[in-house]
Amino acid sequence: MLGLNPADWQAIEVTLKLCLYTTIFLLLIATPLAWWLSGKTSSLRVAIQAIVALPLVLPPTVLGFYLLMAMGPRGLLGSSLESIGLTHLAFSFEGILVASVLYSLPFAVQPLLESFNNLGRRPVEVASALGAGPVDRFFTVILPLCKGGYVIAATLTFAHTLGEFGVILMLGGSIPGETKVLSVLIYDYAQSMNYDAAHRLSLILLVFSFLVLFTVYGFSRRFQVVRV
């Protein structure tokens, strides 16, 4: 199908798995983080917000470099994992997953933050006065009222992870079936002058990314119209 070879399919599988896991983990992490950030302004919040936004401006090489240092056997994270009998994270799927989560953090946090800021604290306070506990409030008030923010956060995270290259290249090690994602495979095809294969995969990625963004923008427009 589509003239793809097994290596291509393998890379597609790794990529989709990475995107999916990153999106799930990020929504879990970004929800409390964005909620906390949407509270009253304090200098600590401003600082954390700036840190969250760092991946937007930093070159991926900076993150890749530091993560390789931290995750390798000599790094803080890597060595503590080794000391409890686990393997360090460099050149592993878990490693690029951690990197993706960090790298896409602003893409999950910003839409949620904006959504929570629009929501304000009032509906949640109303719900707690009506006897709803924190989990109850999240599912019956925050989630339905910030649905748009969640759709946007999820799609942007997914799409951004799809387009990730630099960080994965630096600490992934291009292991087929483990850390070799589509963008790296395309790069290798282009490097080895296999332009046909590079072209095929690039086109697939291009169309898919367009569809994702089309959905996001369509949804965000609808979302704004619906909001009272």
Partner 1 sequence: MKHRALLSARLSLLLLGSFLLGTATAENFTIVAASDLRYALDEIVAAYIAEHPEHQPSVIYGSSGQFHAQISNGAPYDLYFSADIVYPQMLHEAGLTADEPAIYALGRIVLWSANRDASTLHLSDLVRDDIRRIAIAQPEHAPYGQRAQEALEATGIWSTVQPKLVFGENIAHAAQMAESGAADIGIIALSLALFPTMTAQGYHLIDADLHAPLTQAYVITRYGQGKPGVLDFSRYMESDTAHTIMQRYGFAMPE
Partner 2 sequence: MSLRIRAQLQRGAFNLLIDTALPTDGVTALFGRSGCGKTTLLRIIAGLERVRDAHVEFGDLCWQQDSHFVPTSARRIGLVFQEHSLLPHLSVKENLLYGYNRTPAELRRLHLEEVMQMLAIDSLQQQRIDQLSGGERQRISLGRALLTSPQLLLLDEPLSALDTQTKREIMPFLSRLALQAQVPIILITHSPDEVQRLANHVAFMAAGQITTVETLEQALARPDTPLFQDEGAAAILAGQLGPANEHGLRAFGSDQSRLWLQSPGNVTELPECGQSIRVRILARDVSVALDDPQRISMQNHLFVTIEHMHTIADQRVVLSLRLADGQLLLSEITNWSARRLELSPGQQVYALIKSVALIS
Q: 């910003």: which residue's tokens?
A: 110
The stretches of 89-193 forming alpha helices (DSSP H) are 93-103, 105-119, 122-129, 134-137, 143-145, 147-162, 166-172, 182-191
- 180 secondary structure, DSSP code: -
Burial of 208 (0-12, 13-18, 19+ CB in 10 A): middle
Vertex 210, ends 204 and 214: CA angle to 5°?
A: 150
Size of the site for partner 1 (CB under 8 A): 25
Return the range that interacts with partner 2 (CB under 8 A); candidates 28-36, 95-103, 134-142, 155-163.
134-142
CB of 196 to partner 1, least distance (A): 14
Which of 11, 30, 109, 127 touches partner 2 by CB under 8 A?
Answer: 127
Q: Does 73 bind partner 1 (CB under 8 A)?
A: yes
3-state secondary structure of 85: coil
Which of 68, 124, 142, 162 touches partner 1 by CB under 8 A?
Answer: 68
Q: Does 61 bind partner 1 (CB under 8 A)?
A: no
CB of 145 to partner 2, least distance (A): 6
Positions that interact with partner 2 (CB under 8 A): 122-123, 125-133, 136, 140-141, 144-145, 228
